Structure formats: C-alpha cells, structure tokens
Chains A and B, each alone.
Chain A
Amino acid sequence: MAKMKFYCDAERCIECNACVTACKNENEVPWGINRRRVVTIKDGEPGERSLSVACMHCSDAPCQAVCPVDCFYTTEDGLVLHDKDTCIGCGYCFYACPFGAPQFPSAGAFGSRGKMDKCTFCAGGPEETGSSDEHRKYGANRLAEGKLPLCAEMCSTKALLAGDADVLSDIYRKRVINRGAAALEWGVNLDKANVRHTPGMSGKASSKS
C-alpha cells in the first residue's frame, strides 16, 4: 500500500493560510480547533520562510505510544487516526507530539479538555465510512471518495503536497534539482539558507525553477 504523507515546500509557501481555512471548512472542526496551522519563521527578516504544519502521520508516532487508552491506530495507508469514543482527553499526545498536532476543545468544568481532535488526512475515523457519525466526529472522508486532503488540493502555489510518499518525493526531487542548478549557477551558498539575499544577486533563485 501507498504511504500517505504531507509535504510542505518552504520555498513556495506564501503564508496565505488558505489550507487552514479550507481544513476548518471541510472538516467543520469545533471552535478553537485548528488541525493545520501556518508558521512563519524570521517573519519580516532576511530568510523568512513559512511552513504549513499538521499531523505528520509518523510511522512511529509518539502520540500513539503515550496514549493511556491506546486509542490510536495506523491505517494501511500509513495514516495515524484515533477513536474519539475511547479518547479520554488527557492531553498526553499533545505533550509528546513534536509538531503540536493534537488539539483539544475546551469542554466541561475548569475548561478541561474534551476529546482530542487532529488532522485525519481527510480520511475520517473508525466509524462507518461516509456515515453522519463519522462526519460529525472526524470530519470529511475525502480519501474514501478518491480525493486527497483539501488543504493540499487547493494550495494555490502547490507548496503543500499530499499523497503517496514516493510520488511526493519525485515531485520534490525535480523541484530541488531545478532550484539547485539555478542556485549553483548563481554561486549561492545554500548552507546559509539565505538564497534571496546574497549581495549582488537580483531576483530569486527559486524563480528560475
């Protein structure tokens, strides 16, 4: 089976946050929940880059390892999904996840956590595929309809890619080779990741690709 992955190309992401909005709309996530977020580092400084981050669907997922009720499962497509009926809202997955993917609605007294919610790769959950229960708890199941996650499908610059890891690698490798050739032609030191601000260089290396 294919292993489904996200890939976000920092050279292409323009921080438009459309993936965040599309995800919220498609999955009708509760108020205060963002399954996906765009983080900009060095905002307004040389070397600014943005990345769209959600669940990375790790092969050895920390959330899955620490869950006290073992509510996570990995699908044949390599997606890490969870069962909200079993989840107790303890928050351990959020502490363990390196990417901050698990999100919790505020529910009950003291503003304690409700059932964890996270990116499902638009693949629903353990409920019957296409059922209203599945949609209510986990959002869309686009994968069952032969579609990819909406965030990646509608990304205007095709920075965010989703799909079979091998296909993504091929796409990305082609991009990098093009960019690398262009950058080397310009004599840019990529180790410093400062492609856009080499003295005497006009324009962007990435615009050559």
Chain B
Amino acid sequence: MSRYFQTFLFGPLFILLACLTLPATAPAVAQQDTGAMPLTVPNPSNDLWRAVRQREAPASGRTQVRGVDSGVLITQSGEAFRNYRMETFIGYAGLFIGVVAALVLLFYLVRGRIDIPDGRSGRRVRRFVDADRIAHWVTAVLFIVLAVTGLTLLFGRFVVLPIIGADAFGALANVFKQVHDYLSPVFLISLLVLVVRFAAKNLPARGDLKWITSGGGIIGNAHASAGYFNAGEKIWFWSVLAFGVVVSVSGLLLLFPVFGLSREIMQLALIVHGIAAVLFIGGSFGHIYIGTIGTEGSLESMTTGYVDTNWAKLHHDRWYEEVKDQAEPTPVSDTQRTPASMQPPAADKA
C-alpha cells in the first residue's frame, strides 16, 4: 500500500519538477545541437540583401521598369516615415488640437465675451470694403473645407471609420480626398489675393511693441492702444502667410506625383504638410474665437463691412481717430438684426 501511496505522492511531484526544470535545460540541448554542426552555412543571398539594406546611399540598380525609384531595392526611410506618422504625429496632432480647443474654451469660461462697456453707439464706420470681405470669406470657407477634409483623412481611420464602417468611410474619404485636392490650388490663389489686399495694413508700426508688452489687454480691463490692426492681428496675418505658403508648397508637391519626385521628398512633404496644417488649424481656433463669440461687435466687420464706432474706439482707437469723421448712422435693418444695438444713437456725439 505504501508503494502505491509513494507513486501517487511523488509521481505528480516529479512531473511538476520536470515541467519546471526542463524548459531551462532545453536551450542547452539545442545549443549543443547547433554547436555540433561543423560548418556555419554561408548564405550569399543573405549577404546580398544585407548589403543592399545597409548601404548608406540608396542602392540604386538598373531596371527595365520605368517608374519612381524603380531601381531602388530597399528604402530605409519608409520605416521611419511609418513610425513617425503612426506613433508620433497622429497622436501629438490630436493632442495639440484638443489642447488648443480646451484652452479656447477655458478662456471663454474664465474671461467670457469681451463686451463694449459703453454699449453700441448706433453709429457705424466702414472697416472692410467688399473686395476685402470677399477675399477673406473665400479663403476662410476654403480653409475650413480643407481643414475638415484633411483632418478626416488624418484621424478618420481611428475616429470615423469605427463609427460608420469601412465601406462608408472609404466612400467618404474618396470624396474628401478629391475635394481636398481640387480646392487646394484655389485656396493658394485666394490666400495670395488676401495677402496682397491686407499686407500694407499689417506692416509693423509704432505702438505694436507696446501692444504686445501689455498683452493686448487680454488680462484685466485696460485696453491696449492699436491702429487699424493690432499687433495680435498682424502676427496672425503673417502666420497665415507663412503657414499658407508652407502648406501650399508641400501640398503642391504631393498633388503632382507625375514629376517623378523621390519617395524621400514625398515623405518629407507629407510630414511638413501635416505639421504646418495642424499648427495652422490650431491658430485658426484663436482667430475664429476672437472674431465671433469672443468679442462683441467683431464679426459684423466681416459680415457687413461696418463696425460700431464704440467698438472701433475700444479696440482700434488710433484708427478710429483717423476715420471718425466718416461715421454714419447704422441703418435700421442692421440694428434690428443685432438687438444689442437698439440703444438710442445719441450716445455718440462724433
């Protein structure tokens, strides 16, 4: 009986012990096997592929096939492009846009809308002629369309595709890609028109530095003195030009694959296009916020072309001094549209 007992007791114990120790001994056995082989087998083709892969310059061979980089056997930069795009760029781009949007929201919650303290005067002054406004809105609409289509192509696989499914997202992305491609040259033209129309008024002038050092009057109620455009608007204007040119040039490279540009250039163009576009979009959040819900009376300068004289006095005092003689009563139709300006026009004597 005791032998059976011993078998029952030590049998499983031995198996358990073997399970724990055998894996440790197995590699040693395997090593002995390979060590017993007298020759390491030379492999000429492995050497060849390794040489092709590790060569510093692109291993450019000769091929009968005509095409971009068709003589190149392996491009090293593809892997770097993939890692950068999938593991760095998309994540940080999403984070950046989210943080900017959150900051704008936070600013709105803390500071609220910047009102005109004296209310509306009921008198208005011309700020933008029709050509200015057309140039602005064409660029603005194209910018928003390009931003929405571009962001969808960037984040859609992770955000939109899981919701609407692969087939629907494929169809959507096809349309968006075409829209993005065909509208982008128009955006470049409208951007250049915008720059030509607004450049003179955005040249640095006396007082800009002071406006910047006083923080543009964002904190507190003290308003910084400014001319036609304040320094913040000027910085945005030149940023638009810089980002617009970078986005457009890199975009044009991507738009014309027929010129046979190498993959390295295309990868670089796509990386630059993405970074510049995301920064551009982040900046536009601030611009759109200030121009719409952030400031009372700002949006109508671009929708109607006129601003209230009190708004002009508040935000662009030095410009207002120049044009206050041209002030005129605000038409009734406009005041009906904006109930805040229903106060009597007597408030302004200018």
A residues with a Cβ closer than 8 A to B are 9-11, 17, 20, 32, 34, 37-43, 49, 51, 53, 62, 65-71, 83, 85-92, 94-100, 103-104, 106, 108-113, 172-173, 176-177, 179-180, 183-184, 190-191, 193, 195
Contact = CB atoms under 8 A, between A and B. Distances in A.
A29 B188 CA distance: 36
B52 to A, nearest CB: 7
Given A90-B177, A95-B81, A110-B258, A9 B45 contact: yes
B69 interface: yes
Interface stretch (B71-79, B223-231, B236-244): B71-79
Interface of B: 39, 41-45, 47-48, 51-52, 59, 61-65, 67-76, 78-79, 81-82, 85-86, 153-154, 156-157, 161, 166-167, 169-170, 173-174, 177-178, 181-182, 254-258, 263, 266-267, 270
A176 B42 contact: yes
A66 B59 contact: no
A10 B59 CA distance: 15
Which of B71, B170, B255, B270 has the largest number of chain A CB atoms within 10 A? Answer: B170
Q: Nearest 9 pairs between A and B by C-beta?
A: A86-B170, A111-B258, A37-B65, A41-B61, A39-B61, A43-B62, A190-B42, A88-B177, A34-B65
A111 to B, nearest CB: 4
A78 B44 CA distance: 26
B252 to A, nearest CB: 9
A100 B75 contact: yes
A66 B86 contact: yes
Contact of A100 (B72, B86, B156, B182): B72
B258 A180 contact: no
16 contacts: A10-B45, A37-B65, A39-B73, A42-B61, A51-B73, A62-B79, A70-B161, A91-B266, A92-B85, A95-B267, A96-B82, A106-B258, A173-B41, A176-B43, A176-B44, A193-B44
B64 A90 contact: no
Given A41-B52, A96-B78, A98-B79, A34 B157 contact: no
A9 B166 CA distance: 39
A20 B156 contact: no
Contacts of A68: 153-154, 156-157, 173
A88 B270 contact: no
B266 A10 contact: no
Contact of A180 (B41, B161, B181): B41
Contact of A62 (B71, B82, B258): B82
Which of A87, A94, A96, A103 has the largest number of chain B CB atoms within 10 A? Answer: A96
Contacts of B258: 106, 110-111
